[in-house]
Structure 1
Amino acid sequence: MTNNNNDPDQGEREDPKAGVKGAWIAFAGAVAVAVIGVVGTILSGAVHVSTGDQSQAGGGMATTTVSVPVTPTPTPTPPVERAIVSPEENQSAQLCTEVRGTVRKLPADKALVVATREDDDTRIYFEQSVKLGSNGEWRATVNLGDSDNANASVNHHFDIYAVVMDKAWAAYLAGTHDDVDYTFWSTTGWPPGADPGDPRRLIRSAAVGC
């Protein structure tokens, strides 16, 4: 068989590879546009995914849009405003010391307890019995040292904290003491979710006061 170089249709025939290449380029461009659109929608707060169906009469595109909401990052709860009013910073305080302060808008599921920590002591002591007034004032009596050995902590430094913590945790920890009449408890660290706030620093005097 001889080739017919004079076939008028020979020069007008399309190269099948060129058609496939063009289709792949068009497909890749469509995918890139779709990805950019999805990313842009994610940044705006939701993901919209569209699927096409060419089986409808007339070759029209039927689209189905699925919206996936993006959960925003929760806003942190601001700390409860409270302060220790007395004793004053670096004041000399006796073994049994009354601490007074103020608190604003204490949530119903929170408790206010007073904590003490002596320098070089690995434990934090919490006083559960805090009297809250209707005007936002509170007071509690704490021990700065061991009442059975009152002189051991004389001239030692103590930090006093007005701690806001979950009421359920406070009730649980208060119940861990063997003596039901005791209103204090101790730990080696802050309970989960507890906010100790800023401490008030005191110096133990030789006076007992209780």
Structure 2
Amino acid sequence: MTGTDTAADAPQPRRGRADKAAAVVHAACAVFGRDGFARAGIDAIAKEAGVSTRTIYNHFPGGKEELFRTVIQWSSWRVRDAQLAQLEHYLDPQRPPRPADLERDLLALARAWIGLTTDFPDHFAMVRQIYAEIGHLPVEVLEAWQAAGPRAVGARTTAAVAVLGEHGLLELSEGPEQAAAHLLALTVSEVARRSYWGAVPLSAEENDRLLASGVRAFLRAYGVTATR
């Protein structure tokens, strides 16, 4: 290299097929989250990824629908894994909390899950777009999203709630699935709804107020003292 050479002038390594596919998926996640499914264009995704449109069609011959389905699955898997790791940390079935600690641990779990909206902003931007366009999205895409993320997290949350019932920490006369749905609705779903899935973030104080109120309401309904 001579003294006049620059990094921009130096030959750049060629990206392999896997690298290009990963670049397309990351770029598509950002573009779909920004523009939605209907308005997002393959040209915009190609520009964001630094590849040609032909490269995108080589990897995703089904075009935009196949790409969107792939991206929402990939993104949902990442968020699902983070949610399940936190669920196991705060509600470990091998070490159920003491009765006095249940409210604390449920609140900590809800806080951790809400924190994921800032850890995975592109994913939750896509979720906002899904709700905005839900009547215009292919059923196969919606099913792929639900199977990859929300349904799996719901099933594991139901299992965790069932364990709490087995240890006498919750009264589950209506079944653990209904209780798990209420827990999510009263806490993370409430904050997500009010913040438009992270588009208009609430203050930390407002988040805590909503989550604490939701956990208390859940325990009033399902806590063992509620039936005594």
TM-score of the aligned structures, taking structure 2 as reference length? 0.25
TM-score of the aligned structures, taking structure 1 as reference length? 0.26
Q: Which has the larger radius of gyration?
A: 1
Which has the larger share of strand?
1
